[in-house]
Amino acid sequence: MASETMIQNAKAFLQQESPDSKLNLYDHMCSVMHKILENRTPNSVDLLESLSQEVKTNKFAPPCDPSSDVRPASLEVELANVQNKLFEKPSEDAEPEPEDEVEMPLPDLMDTAHYFEQAGLGLGREETFRIFLALKNLVDTHTLQSVRFWGKIQGTEKNYIVAEVEYREGGEEEQEGEEEEGEESREEETDEAKEGDEDNLPTPDYKPPPVIPKEETGTGCNKKTYFVCNEPGTEWTKLPPVTPAQIVCARQIKKFFSGNLEAAVISYPPFPGTEINYLRAQIARISAGTHISPVDYYKFEEDDEDDSDGEGRDSFVENVEFEPPRVQELIDFSQQLGPPRAARSTTRQMCLG
């Protein structure tokens, strides 16, 4: 005779759930026996396997009602709903534009993409047009003098669409005010941390080297301002100014971008910042190392003084009197340079040297 303990142990064994179906043999056999007794199924021993399968099938519950047309929205549908706003016409109640004609800062991106297609490059016409509409939204929400599609950087989770902009007069003051507020908050946090260390601990004699200050907005590596977004139609995020320490460290490490601006950059040597700073540093390096243009395409501004102290000048403009060379002349790489040499040297020494 089986003892009560053996029966309980056997029942406990049969009640163990399967990790795949989340069912147990005890409840399943009870359901099968209940179905046989309820229907008085003849020759049930021959139909045991089919009855067992029928019980399992009846317990299956779909994630949604098959008779309903409602389906959970996929990521593609959610992105399409976001990008649908790019194609909406402005409402009739919108404020009229000022009478003063202002030059459109946004170039014809589709025309530029056409020339890239001739060389077998580009992102495709559909994505390029969506990026053009996203850049137009950026122009409508900021006082910008010029806007340029810088490029696209792929990440492990999301990608980055990068826009290079320059503010109009007055817009830079707002930009500098935001940066100063961020610096003041960081200084206050540092002061509070120092006040908390009131213990009389021994101080080391080592003094770290002085920190090289970052270049002012509108000069050197921070001459341009950059905005990024993950997909056309999503919110644009302005990247902070880059510092010399970030550029130096970015040259020593290799990291994949994740697509999350707040992600930590785990590396050696340690990177001073998060992915938003690492992205800005790599943009500065790429911009300094890949700029190319024909000779005399740029010129220094007339009000600039001569380079008497040996420092490079970085204030230059496009030469309106420039005459493009013939195609045969472009084969000679000596005819292809970046910005004026004096202006280019400072930026390249900071980013690459």
Q: Name the burial class of residue 15, with classes exposed (0-12), middle (13-18) and buried (19+) by CB atoms within 10 angstroms of its CB.
A: exposed
pLDDT given at position 285: 93
Residue of 143, 154, 277 whose CA lies nearest to 222: 277
Entry pTM: 0.66
Residue 330 identity: L
Digitized pLDDT (tens) for each residue of the chain, 353 residues in all: 567 888 888 888 888 888 777 778 888 888 888 888 888 878 888 888 888 888 877 776 565 665 666 666 677 777 787 778 778 776 655 555 554 455 667 888 888 888 888 888 888 888 999 999 999 989 888 888 889 999 999 999 999 999 999 888 766 555 555 555 555 544 554 455 455 555 677 888 888 888 888 888 888 888 899 999 999 988 999 999 999 999 999 999 999 999 999 999 999 999 999 999 999 999 999 998 887 788 788 887 765 555 555 555 666 778 888 888 887 777 776 666 655 543 444 444 444 44
Q: What is the pLDDT of residues 151-174, one digit of tens each?
A: 999 999 999 999 999 888 766 555
Question: Would you say the C-alpha torsion 268, 226, 296, 344 has a positive or negative sign?
Answer: negative
pLDDT, tens digit, 9 for 90 and up, residues 201-229: 788 888 888 888 888 888 888 889 999 99
**Contact criterion met (CB below 8 Å) for 96 and 138:** no
